[in-house]
């Protein structure tokens, strides 16, 4: 095993995990960790909740201190130390001590790069104003919290509607700030399909958030060192007491690139299955490194805490012992909550799968997270994405309340083992009335997918219906009166068999209900009574009339 000298560039998730795993498998290694910032290990995912006040004690964000690393693991963790250069031939790095300005060279046997990523901050005039913020580390959170506490801003413009963006929209809104959310894509949560993101958009709007979608920031107007308003690409001007940038992150690869290490096509540091770079004595993990995409089977950059921790752990073991398990592919499984609602995803969206060349099928289940007769069931919309030829599951998205995380985690497990819609349909999941249903929403989504691929069901959206289509609403008369799709005729499902003669068998028939189940039954009735061109509108009015999604608890 020996006593290698292992240097680690960066702490937080990947670097700290690498350091502690290296120590646990090799008591005799010399381990030194350099962190340029103030804190060697902190909970960056908890920063919005500290600003909100949900985490009242700031020290709870600091997961480990240099003293803790030394006392518990005999690891030399040095904060305020920035690694400036890698001399691969001499197997050494140049380190700047920010407190003294001193530069020293430190030799290594193995080097682990975990430099992370930096917030995207375009070089706009005024972007360094005192009321323009980003959120990546504890000092960033301190600045935002201090400003909101002291200045009590009335209006904020938030640029970027990803996960951090939605979390901070909730935080600022709950603190009494009127928020305008700007996103250059056509919908919030760009990693979701549009109709799934639309549910979260309705939640945001219901809580007073102004959405400016398909827009970019054109100009920051300043007065002294403060931004006073923001001009968007459509020419509109929005007053702002503060601006928060949540436009994503860029991997910190300059150190690796300057050392001649290979940078992959995704923009991250290229690594093999043991996180070794193009130099086998140098590893790269975390947000700066590429990972293997679990569906596509090729390198990608997926900056999430889970993969960073897991891959850091394995890199530390390999550096300390010369062996470890291989890193596992990453699916991009993620979840966000805002205003009591939850959105989560894993694997690929329909849009991404089509762009990758898959012949894509998809299905929906709109159900409670447990049986309806037991009090407290919370509705969710679950979307399942799969490859039609092989029936392999490619991904899933879910929006709702309780139970969303459970379903997405199950699909992530199915994806890991390259499972099919048939595997998902047959899963033996825990059931009791207060926890789920004998036919779980996951089962329903898989059943719908099977019905589609087995020829029992054809589904379509409401856009682009044929000119001669017959649009039939099979809900009750009362439901129909509360709101229906334009041009629909109401034929309640119990009366359908007795009213078949009212329909033209030579024209296509499109049926729908509230969520899709009654529409499926109606489609089967029609197909078996001689109607050759029958379609069910997927998602019913819940997906196609936004107010319906709200009225059913979403």
Phi, psi of 11 (to 5 degrees): -110, -120
Q: Summarize pLDDT for 494-518 with one digit per residue, the tens.
A: 999 999 999 999 999 999 999 999 9
Find the angle CA(198)-CA(182)-CA(211) to the nearest 5 degrees: 45
The structure tokens 């699909």 sit at 411
Residue range 79-115, pLDDT digits in tens: 999 999 999 999 999 999 999 999 999 999 999 999 9
How confident is the model at residue 48, as a pLDDT?
86
**Which is nearest to 441 in space by CA: 412, 414, 407?**
407
pLDDT for residue 551: 46
Tell me the backbone φ, ψ of residue 344, rounded to 5 degrees. -145, 155
Residue 142 token pair: 């301190």
Nearest by Cα to 407 from 387, 379, 374: 379
Cα–Cα distance, 107 to 375 (Å, whole number): 63
Q: Model pTM?
A: 0.92
> Could you give the domains of the chain?
5-118+250-321 (3.50.50.60), 132-247 (3.50.50.60), 340-453 (3.30.390.30), 463-551 (3.40.250.10)
Neighbours of 432 (CB within 10 A): 11
Q: Is the dihedral of CA 280, 286, 287, 293 positive or negative?
A: positive
Residues of the chain with pLDDT under 70: 1, 546-554
DSSP run (H or E) holding 157:
strand 155-159
- pLDDT at 1 (0 to 100): 65
Tokens of 281: 């004595």
- Active-site residue set: 45
What was the pLDDT predicted at 56? 84
List helix spans (H) across 154-269: 163-174, 194-206, 254-258
């Amino acid at each position: 095993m020996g006593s290698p000298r292992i240097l680690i560039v960066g702490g937080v998730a990947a670097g700290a995990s690498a350091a502690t795993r290296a120590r646990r498998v090799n008591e005799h290694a010399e381990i030194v960790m350099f962190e340029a910032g103030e804190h060697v290990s902190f909970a960056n995912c908890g920063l919005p909740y500290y600003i909100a006040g949900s985490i009242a004690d700031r020290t709870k964000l600091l997961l480990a201190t240099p003293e803790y690393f030394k006392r518990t693991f005999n690891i030399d963790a040095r904060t305020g130390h920035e690694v400036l250069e890698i001399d691969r031939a001499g197997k050494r790095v140049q380190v700047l001590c920010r407190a003294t300005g001193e530069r020293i060279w430190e030799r290594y046997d193995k080097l682990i790069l975990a430099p992370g990523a930096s917030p995207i901050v375009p070089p706009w005039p005024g972007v360094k104003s005192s009321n323009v913020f980003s959120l990546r580390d504890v000092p960033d959170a301190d600045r935002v919290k201090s400003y909101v506490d002291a200045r009590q801003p009335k209006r904020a413009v938030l640029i970027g509607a990803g996960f951090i963006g939605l979390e901070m929209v909730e935080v600022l809104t709950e603190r009494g700030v009127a928020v305008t959310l700007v996103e250059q894509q056509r919908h919030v949560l760009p990693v979701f399909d549009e109709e799934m993101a639309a549910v979260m958009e309705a939640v945001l709007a219901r809580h007073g958030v102004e959405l400016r979608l398909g827009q970019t920031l054109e100009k920051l107007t300043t007065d002294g060192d403060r931004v006073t308003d923001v001009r968007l690409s459509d020419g509109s001007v929005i007053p702002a007491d503060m601006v928060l940038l949540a436009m994503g992150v860029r991997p910190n690869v300059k150190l690796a690139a300057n050392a001649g290490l290979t940078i992959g096509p995704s923009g991250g540091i290229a690594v093999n299955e043991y996180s070794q770079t193009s130099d086998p004595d140098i590893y790269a993990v975390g947000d700066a490194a590429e990972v293997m995409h679990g569906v596509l089977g090729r390198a990608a950059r997926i900056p999430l805490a889970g993969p960073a921790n897991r891959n850091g752990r394995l890199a530390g073991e390999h550096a300390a012992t010369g062996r470890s398990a291989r890193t596992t592919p990453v699916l991009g499984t993620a979840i966000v909550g805002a205003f009591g609602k939850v959105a989560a995803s894993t694997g690929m969206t329909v849009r991404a799968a089509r762009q990758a060349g898959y012949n894509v099928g998809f299905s929906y289940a709109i159900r409670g997270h447990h049986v309806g007769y037991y009090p407290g069931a919370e509705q969710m919309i679950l979307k399942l994405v799969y490859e039609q030829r092989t029936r392999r599951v490619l991904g899933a998205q879910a929006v709702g309340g309780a139970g969303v995380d459970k379903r997405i985690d199950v699909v992530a497990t199915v994806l890991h083992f390259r499972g099919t819609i048939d595997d998902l349909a047959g899963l033996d999941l825990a059931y009791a009335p207060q926890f789920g249903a004998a036919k779980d929403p996951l089962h329903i989504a898989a059943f719908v997918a099977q019905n589609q691929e087995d020829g029992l069901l054809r589904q379509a959206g409401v856009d682009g219906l044929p000119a001669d289509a017959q649009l039939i609403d099979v809900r009750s008369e009362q439901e129909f009166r509360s709101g229906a799709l334009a041009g629909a005729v109401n034929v309640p499902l119990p009366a359908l068999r007795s009213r078949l003669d009212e329909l033209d068998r030579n024209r296509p028939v499109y049926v729908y209900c509230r969520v899709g189940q009654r529409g499926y039954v109606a489609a089967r009735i029609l197909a078996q009574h001689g109607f050759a061109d029958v379609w069910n509108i997927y998602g019913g009015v819940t997906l196609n009339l936004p107010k319906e999604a709200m009225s059913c608890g979403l």
